[in-house]
Structure 1
Amino acid sequence: MTGPGSDEQIRDWVRGLGLPGLIDIHVHFMPERVLAKVWAYFDAASEHYGVAWPVRYRFDEPTRLAVLRGFGVIGFAPLLYPHKPAMAEWLNDWAAEFAEREPDAVPTATFYPEPGADAYLARALERGVRCLKAHVQVGDYDPADPLLDKVWGLIAESGVPVVIHCGHGPLPGRHTGLDVFETVLRRHPRLTAVLAHAGTPDYLAALELLRRYPRVHLDTTMVGVAFTERNAPLPADWTARLAEFGDRVALGTDYPNIPYEYSEQLRAIAGWAQDLGPEFLRAVLHDTPARLLGR
C-alpha cells in the first residue's frame, strides 16, 4: 500500500482512502517565545544528539496552520509542556485561547509535579480539555512523583487521553523508561495513555504495556522514518506484533518540528498497512485519533 510521494500529494491520497481527512494527535503549537526556544534547541541538535535536526516547517503561526490544513488535517491536538514549576498553568491558558480561535484544534493542557497541580488540572478538565501532554524527559521529573498522584487519578477518571513522552528516545533522561511509567499505570490502570513515539526505542516494551493495560495506546510520531531508523530501528517483525493492536495506534507527527516532510510519516504507516490492511490504515489516520480526541 503506497503512501503519498510528497506533501503535495497528501490530500488526494487521503481522499483516495475514503477518509474525510487526517486527525493528528501529536503536533506542537506554543506561545512564540516558547517555540523559539524549542527551535533554538533543535538548531543545536548536533551538539545535543550528534545529528543535525533542521526544523522542516519553520514558519509563522498562520502559515504553519495553513500548511497543516493543506495536508488535509481536519483535527489536531496542539501539545505543550513545561520544563519548570509555575509554567504549566499559563501554558494551559494559552492553549485554551488557541483552541477557541482555531476550531480544528482540540483544547489541550499539561501539568508539572508542583503544589496545586491537581487544582489547575481539575479546572482544565472542567472547561473541556480533550487531550493532555506529559513530557518526562524535558520536564526532568519522575512521573510517579507523589505530587502527581491526584493528577493521574483525575485523568484516569476523566477518560481524557494523555500523550506521554516517557521513553528513552532520543536521549535517556533521569526518569525516562517505560518501566518507570508503568509504576503510574499500576496505580491507575484505567488511565487512557498514548505512548508518544511508540516508546522509542523500546518498541516491544511499549507493546507489552498495551497488552497489560487495555486503555494504553501508541502514537506514530517519528516512528519508522529514515531519521529515526538510523539509531532506533523498528524490530523486523514490527507489523506482525502490531496486528493485535490495530485500533490502539494513532497518527502523530511532531509537526512542525520534524526534520523531514510530513508525507514521510504517512509513507511509513502505509508501509505497515501493506501487511495490516486498509482498515488498519484508516484507523490510524482517522478513526482512532478521532475517538481519542472526541472528534
Structure 2
Amino acid sequence: MGPLHDEDVPRWWEALGLPGLIDIHTHFLPERMLRRVWAHFDDAGPLVGRPWPITYRWDEASRLAQLRRLGLRHFTALTYAHRPGMAADLTDFALKLAATEPDCVPSATFFPEVGVLEQVQSALERGARVFKIHAQVGGFDLREPVLDPVWGLLAESGVPVVVHVGSGPVPRPGFTGPDKLEGVMRRHPGLTAVVAHLGAPEYAEFLALAGTYPRLHLDTTMVFTDFFEAAAPFPPELLPRLAELPDRIVLGSDFPNIPYLYAHQLESLDRLRDLEPALDDDWLRAVCWFNGKRLLGV
C-alpha cells in the first residue's frame, strides 16, 4: 500500500530501495505573486474551474522544510509568466533561491516577447537546468515565431522544459492542445520537453507524441489522484503505453498548490501496481528517482 500520510512517505521510498525522491514539478514564487495565485485558486478562477483548496499554505521556509521531511533530494522552483515583462524577474527569483538552497534545482521561465532568446541564453549561462512555461495561463501558442529560436537553443542545450499545454483544467482554444506541442517538436525533434500533468485530459494524444519523439517526456503531476480522477480520469486502456515508456515518465506533484497531502500523489502511483498491466517497482523507481536524476542532471 502506498503512503496515506506525509510521515509515511520516507518508509515508502525506502521500501523501493531509493535514496529519496526527485520531483520535477514543484513551485516557489515571490511571496506577493504566490498570494495572488492562491487567491485565484481560492476563487475557483476561470482557469481553475472548480474549488481547489491549497493544502500547504505555509511560508517559504516551512514549505522547504516539508519537502525535505518527505525525502525530496532534488526539487524545482518552477515559475511562469502570464504577461510580458515578468519572466526575467521570475527567473532571477528562482535562480537566487537555488543559489541558497542546494537541493533546489536552478529553474527558469520565459514568455513570447522581445528579448526572449537573450533571456533564455542568460538563464542557461547562469546554470538553469530546467525551464517551465504555461501556455494555458500565459495565453500563447507555443508555435509563435518569436519562440522558434528559443526552442532551437533549448534543443541544442539538452535542458528540459516543463510545458503545460494540455487542455486541463480548463481549455483555452488556440493556446492549449497537443497540436501546439507537435508543431514545435516537428521543427525541433531533439527538444527535451516534459508534458505537465501527462497532458490531461488529452492523455492519448500526448502519449502518442512520446512514441514519435524520443526526447518527449511526461510528468505525473496530479494524475491518478482522486481529485484529478473525478474530472479527468486516466483511461485504463492507456496503461500499456505507460508500461512501454518507463524512461519517459517522471515524478511531478504541483506542491504546494495541491488540494490533498503530498503522500496522496505517491499513493496514487502505488495503486498502479494493482492494475493490469501492473506498473511494477522498477517502473516506480524510474519515475520517482532515475528519470528525474537524468533529466535534471543531478
- Tell me what 1:166 maps to: 165
Contact 1:109 1:131 in 2 (8 A): yes
- Secondary structure at the aligned position of 2:162 is classed as strand
- Tell me what 1:243 maps to: 243
Contact 2:78 2:132 in 1 (8 A): yes
Counterpart CA distance in 1 for 2:14 and 2:48 is 37
Q: CA deviation at 1:13?
A: 1.4
State the identity %: 53
Counterpart CA distance in 2 for 1:192 and 1:148 is 15
Letter in 2 for 1:223: V
Contact 2:41 2:48 in 1 (8 A): no
Alpha carbons of 1:85 and 1:75: their partners in 2 closer, same or farther (altered >3 Å)?
same
Letter in 2 for 1:229: E
Alpha carbons of 1:107 and 1:24: their partners in 2 closer, same or farther (altered >3 Å)?
same
Contact 2:49 2:169 in 1 (8 A): no
Letter in 2 for 1:69: R
Contact 1:74 1:104 in 2 (8 A): yes
Provide the TM-score with structure 1 as the length reference. Answer: 0.97
- Tell me what 1:78 maps to: 77
- Runs of 4 or more above 6 Å deviation: none
- Secondary structure at the aligned position of 1:45 is classed as coil
Deviations 1:81-125 (A, max 9, x none): 001111101111111110000000010110000111001100111
Counterpart CA distance in 2 for 1:16 and 1:117 is 44
Counterpart CA distance in 2 for 1:170 and 1:249 is 20
- Secondary structure at the aligned position of 1:27 is classed as coil
- Tell me what 1:216 maps to: 216
- Tell me what 1:34 maps to: 33
Q: CA deviation at 1:46?
A: 6.7
Counterpart CA distance in 1 for 2:261 and 2:131 is 26
Counterpart CA distance in 2 for 1:48 and 1:168 is 10
Contact 1:165 1:195 in 2 (8 A): yes
- Tell me what 2:128 maps to: 129
- Tell me what 1:144 maps to: 143
Where structure 1 has 5 or more consecutive residues not aligned to the other structure, the ranges are none
Does residue 176 (structure 1) correspond to residue 176 (structure 2)? The answer is: yes
Letter in 1 for 2:101: E
- Tell me what 2:93 maps to: 94
Alpha carbons of 1:31 and 1:260: their partners in 2 closer, same or farther (altered >3 Å)?
same
Provide the TM-score with structure 2 as the length reference. Answer: 0.96
Q: 1:179-258 alignment to 2 at 5 Å?
A: 179-258=179-258
Calculate the aligned-residue CA RMSD, in Å: 1.1
- Secondary structure at the aligned position of 1:237 is classed as helix
Counterpart CA distance in 2 for 1:47 and 1:292 is 33
Letter in 2 for 1:279: D
Q: 1:276-287 alignment to 2 at 5 Å?
A: 276-287=279-290
Letter in 2 for 1:288: N
Q: CA deviation at 1:50?
A: 4.5
Letter in 1 for 2:160: P
Counterpart CA distance in 2 for 1:265 and 1:156 is 30
- Tell me what 2:54 maps to: 55
Matched residues, number: 294
